[in-house]
Amino acid sequence: MVTAVAAVAAAVGCTASTGSSPTPATTAGSTASSAAPSSPATAAASQTPHAVASPSAPSSATSPGGASASDTGGGGGAGTGSGTPGCATRDLSIKAGASQGAAGSLYQVLEFTNISNAECTLFGYPGVALAGGTPVTQVGAAATRSTAAAATLVTLQPGQTASTLLRITQALNYPKSKCSPTPTTYLQIYPPNQTTPVYVAYSSTGCKSTSVNLLSIGVMKSGTSG
């Protein structure tokens, strides 16, 4: 009898351990909202902000630039000497804010809001890349870092927002043979010093070739102006 019970328990434990990695969800429309991990829905056709996806990492997703996830962002609050912890991915709601077109490029503000009940800090650069497909995977090279402004420590009280400015160069600026233009439906965003990304629904066109870099990201700043 003891042997039979042990066998049943082992079988149940084995079954419970299996499963599939979640993929990010999206909410139709332009209103930002949190979504539990599930299969991604189809994004709108224009290169404009859409919804906020909950933190989740598809099993096949790669970190920007092929680096380990821990290398994708600039330093967080840890190690800054502030005594306040860095904002974890779970502490943040991330969405696309205001955007403005320029010759051959689009400038897109990314907003990071502290949704926890404690203050936290952001420092340096997030890791950002375009992503798409089923399952969702990174498309092309990750954003390079703009040096237009020096990094400063940003402290967020609960409900406060910080932002950064993402520049997206149009893929059509490059020959198809060099770029391999590919439709994308998400921004893959690692908050500074974090290893779990957030997927924000965002329609664009990336270059599948990593020899072409379309993205440039700025440092984190207080407020929503990027």
pLDDT tens digits, residue range 155-189? 999 999 999 999 999 999 999 999 999 999 999 99
Predicted pLDDT of residue 61: 38
Between 167 and 36, the higher pLDDT residue:
167
**Res 195 pLDDT > 70:** yes
SS3 state of residue 160: coil
CB atoms within 10 A of CB 208: 15
Closest by CA position to 193, among listed 157, 214, 220, 213: 220
Contact 145, 216 (CB under 8 A): yes
Predicted pLDDT of residue 103: 87
Where do the DSSP E strands lie in the chain? 92-102, 105-114, 120-122, 127-132, 137-139, 144-145, 154-156, 161-169, 181-190, 198-207, 215-217, 221-222
Between 183 and 79, the higher pLDDT residue:
183
Adjacent-strand bridge partners of 100 = 107
**Res 108 pLDDT > 50:** yes
Closest by CA position to 125, among listed 110, 135, 136, 114: 110
CA–CA dist 163, 69 (Å, integer): 21
CA–CA dist 49, 97 (Å, integer): 7
Predicted pLDDT of residue 159: 98
Query: What are the structure tokens assigned to 159, written together?
Result: 């409900």
